[in-house]
A and B are shown apart, each in its own frame.
Chain A
């Protein structure tokens, strides 16, 4: 704005605002509560996500302990359902999404040469809503009648007429989570569109920034639809409306349409940033530029657009007319094409590179293999007539844990290992990291691979007890689960050590092949980066 000239008064206040620039981080707890610094907020998000991962994982351990043997051992069925529901909700909304937002906070400004996020105060607000939202959700487990027990998909009328009173708390906690995600996404999108350093054209942006730009768009488009869905659940349950009740002219299946219109893009919200991360890491350790940058961008955009027209592949058994089933089957299958392009591009990047296998690269390679396995089982699920057999069995559970755990979560771990030295200025404990990687890799497959078998053999999901023929595999699945859970404690120790700044100092570039603005600033990254905008050639 033209009025911003450097009058003495201006410089004074502006300098005041800049005080922090000179002095680094403020001290004490209030630093975290009141902060407007993207790195602080990124750290908060990442720690919150990690804690939620442990909480959600502990619930998964309850599930696996109960399923260790046939019969009811540890928890009653009602509580079991609460565990599955809250496990799903926490992992999706509390662990994976905040972790990606945390990474975006840390990295996007550094990668595009911006001093901070575009709307720093709103950034803080988006974060601090989350602990409160999950406090509500978790505390509802201790109310009379228990917390939500209708699955993370909360299908009506199980979540309306037949649910407990805690549904109201569930609805409002989802509302404020949604507000948080939308504000976070607006921040990311505006930062990317408006705060790039001179010369950083869109097609020069690192892939991670691109994938987040598109993810943020998805978030703004679908989180409000989720809000509408929970609102209708609320009015159906408490105010006598009949959106999901045939007697009043509604339809329970309508709920599923609205939910999955949100829900399917949501799963890509949890994987597109992962694609971005892998696209950063693979070139570094191949010492070769990312193959097919432009096609990566177009593939990401196509996945996002297609994600809006495939939602009913979760609903093949609901009795849609056959024409609709065909449409959703074909549309879903199409997503394999752009996703394939991504996988092929990563492989082509590695091809004839000069590969080394540091920890982030190991996770990235595990990601490529295991995500592809999950993607291929997704493709099988897309085939309507066979989905009639797979639907709501452990085959689906296997599919989505491959794309979510060995996909999204592995990518987050890869990202943490990749950028951690930049954040702390010290190399993490590589021995522990290797232990973490190998233990996780082996146990995660013991955990999730046999789920394909029990699923095909006919074990439905969301059951606390099962027929005897599933017993052997379930025992192995549970053992794998406990092992995977314990392996994550190694990660916890490693992170705590890193945060206490133990370890060898690293160079600014940290990794030999690393390229990009974030590797040109000092390690650890100063509290405020880019007081002067870098010029990108």
Chain B
């Protein structure tokens, strides 16, 4: 069969074992998590945790194996510009889907603040809601006293959160410097800036952990303390999970830099990792503004 010069470069991967392994991993994670959650809240013991852990482990193996294959393919130059574009676009759409995931929780936050709580306080067409059902409730945000009567304390924006904001912002800049390093093939510069970025990410996580500890022990701000605590913990929590994932990605990139990977014109993984990091950063800015300050 004739091969045109152009098309020879398009790479259709041969069969691969990783997708089915990945599907199996997600299956175990879903079954495990589904059982584990019930067991934990019921205080029972069961197999859920083990299944979940197995699933996560298999997922880890799958990611490792899959990426290894891909890195190999990429390093041996099988990829074309077209495939590179496919990866970049794929990553961009993936980040868009993540944006929409956060939008769901931001939506809950806005709805609670702008609609649910004022209505419980008697606004709009809900005068009777307040009068009959919650006569002693007054609308407020942060909701430090729920209609059901739970008291809590709001988390201020100065101090830790402000520090964390600065840390993340700086980390975005340092990562950019690392990226510039990749583009100019200055290995030392990549290593230094990437290393600093990773450190900043870790510091952020530690501080976030400390903030949670502070919320639980000193402020009485918990998952159970009403919608203020709910939106606070779910938004910052999912963000924190993304920072964790982002940090892991950066660490992997860091190790790959030491193995001599990434050239000025072949560094999709690096670019994807840095996009992801910037995205996590932007989400934090939104969070800082809407969850902490406003």
Asked if A pairs with B, the answer is yes
Does residue B148 face the partner (Cβ distance < 8 Å to A)? yes
Partner of A172, one of B6, B30, B223: B30
- Tell me the nearest residue of chain A to B133, going by C-beta: A246
Partner of B112, one of A26, A115, A221, A254: A254
Could you say which residues of chain A place their CB within 8 Å of the CB of B294? none
Partner of A9, one of B76, B102, B108: B76
Is A168 a contact of B86 with CB atoms below 8 Å? no
Does residue A403 face the partner (Cβ distance < 8 Å to B)? no
Is B15 a contact of A223 with CB atoms below 8 Å? no
Does residue B45 face the partner (Cβ distance < 8 Å to A)? no
Is A247 a contact of B147 with CB atoms below 8 Å? yes
Could you say which residues of chain B place their CB within 8 Å of the CB of A227? 101, 104
Could you say which residues of chain B place their CB within 8 Å of the CB of A234? 37
Stretch at the interface among A99-107, A199-207, A235-243, A368-376: A235-243
Does residue A249 face the partner (Cβ distance < 8 Å to B)? yes
Chain A residues 447-493 with CB under 8 Å of chain B are none
Measured between C-beta atoms, what is the minimum distance from A115 to chain B in Å? 6
Could you say which residues of chain A place their CB within 8 Å of the CB of B77? 3-5, 7, 9-10
Is A118 a contact of B23 with CB atoms below 8 Å? no
Does residue A51 face the partner (Cβ distance < 8 Å to B)? no
Number of interface residues of B (CB under 8 A): 93
Given contacts A17-B12, A121-B18, A257-B111, contact A175 B116 (CB under 8 A): no
Stretch at the interface among A293-301, A408-416, A526-534: A526-534
Stretch at the interface among B92-100, B160-168, B180-188: B92-100
Report B258-284 CB contacts with A as 1/0, cut-off 8 Å: 000001011000000000000000000
Jot down 12 A-B pairs with beta carbons below 8 A, ordered by A: A14-B8, A16-B14, A17-B13, A19-B14, A121-B16, A125-B18, A168-B35, A173-B34, A179-B26, A224-B97, A232-B234, A321-B124
8 nearest A-B pairs in the assembled complex, by CB-CB distance: A228-B104, A247-B148, A125-B19, A128-B23, A132-B27, A249-B227, A169-B34, A224-B101
Q: List 16 other contacts, CB 8 Å, given A120-B13, A251-B112.
A: A4-B77, A14-B8, A18-B12, A34-B16, A129-B22, A190-B86, A225-B103, A227-B101, A228-B101, A239-B223, A242-B226, A246-B147, A247-B146, A249-B117, A251-B119, A254-B112
Residues on A lying within 8 angstroms of B by beta carbon are 1-7, 9-11, 13-14, 16-22, 26, 30-31, 33-36, 115-116, 118-122, 124-125, 128-129, 132-133, 135-136, 165, 168-169, 171-173, 175-176, 179, 182, 185-187, 189-191, 193-195, 220-225, 227-229, 231-232, 234-235, 238-243, 246-251, 254, 257-258, 261, 319, 321-322, 528, 531-533
